[in-house]
Every structure is written in structure tokens, then in C-alpha cells.
Structure 1
Amino acid sequence: MRTETKQYLKNMGMQTAAGGSAGFVEVCLMYPLDIVKTRLQIQAKKTASTDPQKYYNGVMDCIRKMYKHEGFLSYYKGILPPILAETPKRATKFLTFEQYKQFFMFGSPTPTAWTYSLAGMGAGVTEAILVNPFEVIKVSLQSNNSSNIKEVPSTWQVTRSIIKSQGIGFRGLNKGVDATIWRNAVFNAIYFGFYNSVKENFPQRESPLEEFSRKLAIGFASGVMGSVANIPFDVAKSRIQGPQPILGQIKYRSTFPTIILVYREEGFKALYKGLVPKVLRLGPGCAIMMVVYEYLYDFLKEKFP
């Protein structure tokens, strides 16, 4: 095997390992805010018949009611699918980003902001297709607000139930894949585009602590910007993949009709439900993930030159 090929495969292996590790660390630290975000997104407009126990007036109210009625472990409902998915998901994200980056150089000697954004978008689409079945299972588990932990079905029970009743197609394990693709493509285009462009235009610090803080701050800003830009697609995804308002009837089917329907029935603000917990999670979460990836990748390159 040629030396160039060996080095290319070695780099791919290190990118995969660093990306998977970054995703695992991020999901373990930030998951409780993800379930709060999903709970806020799937609830429809409050009516006179709405159960007060199951309606959340914001982030803190959701956190308080979940703890009061469902217990501490409710913050980790549905965490197994993300843990199983995050390692390959983030590994795929960073690995494919590096490959797409080479493709979108278009003969330029150095990558541009467009290179990073287009590579991020491509990575987001690839990541979304891989992870969507896990997202369907996760949302189903997160939407279960039973106060008895013994009544909450396991990941495997939910998976079997979805496959048995809805199959593995676009009404089953792959429902909402179009919304997942839009959500991830928009987020990653901004996340990678902004992070890499800004990082290159701000001088590297000599102090390790200052350099760490610089990367953390840029990663945080990238995560916040991506979250604000893609949340209407995230709301649509949660509505499509979550329980439908009327049992036996499919109200939310695809991305843009769902966005329009939510806007008409609940107003513009409804398209930004869950923004606060999403930002609270993905702001620091994306900062952590990017920093873990870069430092671990640099460590692996030094360890296995």
C-alpha cells in the first residue's frame, strides 16, 4: 500500500476516533436540556382541557414539573439511543466534513468560508440520514411523561413497537428524515463555516488557557448561531416524529407543510419553541464537542505520526 494511502486512512481513523469521542462526551453532559427542548416543542397550544401537570410554561417550569411528577431519572429518558448514535454520528460528522472540505476546495490552495459551509452542509445531510432512526426512537421515549418509571417502555420495546406498527419506512423508523436533513444541514453549514472562518481570522494565543478559551468561545457562538437558524426545522422534526395530537390521525407529515401549519395555528413564536434549552445545550455542547475533537485529534496525530 502506498505511503500516501496509508497516511490518508490513518487520518480518517483519527478523525473518526476524535469525532466519536467528542460526541460521547457532549451527549453525556448536555442531554437533560435536550429532553426539555423536545417536551416544549411537541406540546401544542394550551387549551382549557390541557392537563396543567403536562403543560410546561418555559424551561424552568418543565424542569420543575418533570422532577416533581417523574423523578430525577426523567431527565435521562431516551438517552440510550443518543449514546448509541452519538459516537457514529459525530464520527461521521467530523470525518465527512474533512472529506467534503477537500471536495469543495474547487482548486483553491486554501479553504474559504464557502468551503467550510458547504462541507458542513454535506456532513449534516450524511449525518442526518444515518441518525434519523435513533432520533425517532429518542423523541418517542422523551415524549413519554409517565410518573411511574416502571411504566416507561425500554428502548428496545419502543423500537419493536415502531417497526411492528409503522415499519422502517417514512412512516416508521425513518419518518421525519426530510426535517432531520434540513435541521442538520442548516446547523452544520453555520457551525463549521462560522467556527473555522472566525478561528482563522483571530490570532492564536500563546497561553494554553487563553487558546483553550478562544476556541471555546468561538465554538459556543457557532452553536448558538446554528441553533437559532435551524430551530423551525427542529420543531417540525419533533412534531412529525412525536405523538400526533389525535390518535390514529397523522397531522404532521413533512417539513414545510408542518412549519406552515404550526405558524397558522400557533403563531410565529411556536416555531421557536424549545429555543432556550436548545441554546443552553448546543451553545456549550458544541463548544465542548469542537474543543474535544481538535485537542484529541492533535493528540492522536502527535501520538501516531
Structure 2
Amino acid sequence: MGSEENNNESNKITATQQAIASCCGAIITSLLVTPLDVVKIRLQAQSSSFANGKCFVYSNGLMDHVYVCENGNNKAWYKKPGHFRGMWDAFVKIIKIEGIKSLWSGLPPTLIMALPGTVIYFTSYDQLSEVLITKIGQDSDHIPVLAGSISRLGSLTVLSPLELIRTKMQSRILSYKQLHMCISNTVAKDGWLSLWKGWFPTALRDVPFSAIYWYNYERFKKKLCKICDAREPTFMISFTSGAAAGSIAATITLPFDVVKTCKQTEIWEFETLNLSQKSSKSTWTIMKRIVAEHGFTGLFAGIVPRLIKVAPACAIMISTYEYGKSFFHKLNKKNVQNH
């Protein structure tokens, strides 16, 4: 019995292996999902042009980024002309006229942000889950909720200052020395907490999303393993569970997503245009305004494009992550047997 426990301990994957698995998952997810958002933004720009200094949300499939509109130069990929009749037509024409690389416009800066965030998030989730299992017990439904919420809080807290720095770099051409002075002046004027502007509306959406997502993912995974009579989740079980859990979480938290987008774009516009910022409106005030102007359905605006993006992103990320963990688990087991 003791030797079996020792084998299980040595077979367990390390935090470094979990980080590598999540890193690979993040890269694959970004490569597959970024073209969807590039096409979506190009279609939006075609119907209503983006004004200079205004902001819109760009996603690489793992996280959202606020992108500041620039003058119509060669870097402004979202302003390139196009007469697209729909998503598929946009895909074909962009590849034909601009080359396939255009579908991954803006990926490098967002990927630099996504990789550390994803590594912190997924590795923390697994590490916290292991600790909570020893404290609470394996069958508790609270474990995915607690681990998902805490790990998301950690990752978005680390990334908030990086998001601010990235937006300042995009808003105008700055050398690293100028950027350092800009950040130093902001901190001197408004304090260190100014680096976390936009943190609260992001947390209000992402923390409940993570809690709902991981709770449903673990439940779906267990049920599908029973149905398929599988001891370990297969790639398809993880993929299906991730897509279903992501869709449920995205739908429930959509009102917070609408408010977060509205609030954060306003913050970045004030930052970019150097305007004096008025007192920030509360989440509840923004929600009431949306309901008054657009009705209750206004809180669920954009549900279809959000689901089209979130469901495959969640499915690809979790299935590649689980596959990576399974690979390392087998590798560790083989190394133990060889020794």
C-alpha cells in the first residue's frame, strides 16, 4: 500500500509541467481563436468607423484587451478597407487580398499578456484544488468554485498593471524611458492603486465566470466519464465539458461583461485623450442606465458573438491543457517504471 502511494506521488505532475501544459494550451487557443475576433472587428469597422482615440475590445480567445484606435496608418489593421458580406466572405477576402498573416493581426502583444495570465490561472487552480482536496475532501462541490475564484483573482491582479502599460504604449509612440516617466508620474499623482484602474469591473465579471465555469466543467467531466466508462477524461470529454461549461458561464455573466466593457473603455479613453476623469459610475448605475435605454435585453447584448468566441476558446484551452497534463502524467509514470 505504501509503495503504491509513493508511486502515485512520483507520477503526479509538477507545477512546472502544469505551467508548460497551460502555456501550450494558451498558444494553440490564441492561434485558433484570434482570426475570429480580427474578422469580427473588421466587420464592425466596416459598418461604423472607429474614431481616433476611441477604444474597442479585442480578444485573443483567452482574455480581453482594450485597443486604442490610432490614425489610419499601416498599423491600424482594423481600419483597412473591405466590402465584406459576412464572416466567411471576410475570411476569404482578407486571406486573398492581404495574406493569411492578417488574420493574426495584433496577436504578439496580446499573447505576451495572455501567456503569464493563463499560466498563473491554470497552475494556481490545480495547485489550490490539491490543497483543498486534502482539507475538505475530494467530493466537495465547493472546491472548483473556491479554486477557480481565487486563481482568477490572482491572475487578473497580476495582469492589470501590464494592461495599463500596454494600452499606454499603443495610445502613442513612447520610448521605454518616456513610458517609465509616464507611469512614474501617474503613480506620483494618483498613487500605486492607479495601476489597477479597471480592476473591479474586470473582477466582477471574471471571478463569477471562473466559479461557474469550473463548477460546471468538473460536473460535466465526471458525468461524461461515467457515460463513456472512462477512468480518465479523454480529449473529447474535456472538449465537450469545456464548451458546455464556458457557454453557461458566458451567458450568466454577460450583464457584467457588458458593464465591464462600457466602464473599461471609458477609463482608457480618459487615459488616452488626457481628459479629466469624472467620478466613475458604479456598476449598478451603469446597469440601470442600460436597462432604461435598451430594456432588460440590453444587458445581454452581443450574446451570440460572445458564445461563438467563448465556447470554442474554453473547449480548446481546457482540452489541450488536460491533454498536456495527461502526457506528463504518462511520462512521469514511465520514468518511475524505468527506474
Q: Same fold (TM over 0.5)?
A: yes
Deviation at 1:95, TM superposition (A): 1.2
Find out whether 1:279 has 2:307 as its counterpart: yes
Quote the Cα distance in structure 1 between the aligned partners of 2:194 and 2:39.
24
Change (3 A) 1:298 1:179: same
* Residue 88 (1) aligns with residue 113 (2): no
Could you tell me which residue of structure 2 aligns to residue 15 of structure 1?
A: 18
The 3-state SS of whatever aligns with 2:14 is helix
Rg larger for: 2
Task: Structure 1: give runs of 5+ residues left out of the alignment.
Answer: 44-50, 145-151
| Structure 1 residue 194, shift from structure 2 partner | 0.6
Decide whether the 8 Å contact of 2:129 with 2:144 is kept in 1: yes
Q: Distance in 2 between matches of 1:40 and 1:97?
A: 36
Indicate the RMSD between aligned Cα atoms, in angstroms: 4.5
Measure the CA separation in 2 of the matches of 1:35 and 1:106.
Answer: 44
Change (3 A) 1:39 1:230: farther
1:205 and 2:218 matched: no
Gaps of 5+ in 2: 1-5, 57-83, 334-339
In percent, how many aligned pairs have the same letter?
Answer: 24
1:246-257 equivalences in 2 (<5 Å): 248=275, 250=277, 252-257=280-285
1:295 to 299, 323, 331: 323
Matched residue count = 279
Letter in structure 2 aligned against 1:279 = L
What per-residue deviation string (whole Å, max 9, x for no partner) do you get for residues 99-136 of structure 1?
22234447443142221122111111112112223445
- The answer for the alignment partner of 1:112 in structure 2 is 140
| Offset at residue 301 of structure 1 (A) | 1.9
Query: CA separation of 1:110/1:221 partners in 2, compared to 1, >3 Å: closer, same or farther?
Result: same
Partner of 2:245: 222
CA offset at residue 299 of structure 1?
Answer: 0.5
Give the CA deviation at 1:256: 3.9
Deviations 1:251-292 (A, max 9, x none): 655544433443344443333333222211110111111110
Q: Deviations over 1:178-199 (max 9, x none)?
A: 1111222111111111111121
Q: Is the 8 A contact 1:227 1:279 kept in 2?
A: yes
Q: Is the 8 A contact 1:140 1:243 kept in 2?
A: no
Distance 2:194 2:221 in 1: 41
Taking structure 1 as reference, are residues 234 and 173 closer, same or farther at Cα in structure 2, changes over 3 Å only? Answer: farther
- Of 169, 192, 207, which residue of structure 2 is paired with 1:185? 207
Does structure 1 residue 160 correspond to structure 2 residue 173?
A: no
CA distance in structure 2 between the aligned counterparts of 1:166 and 1:36, rounded to whole angstroms: 37
What's the TM-score, normalizing by structure 1? 0.71
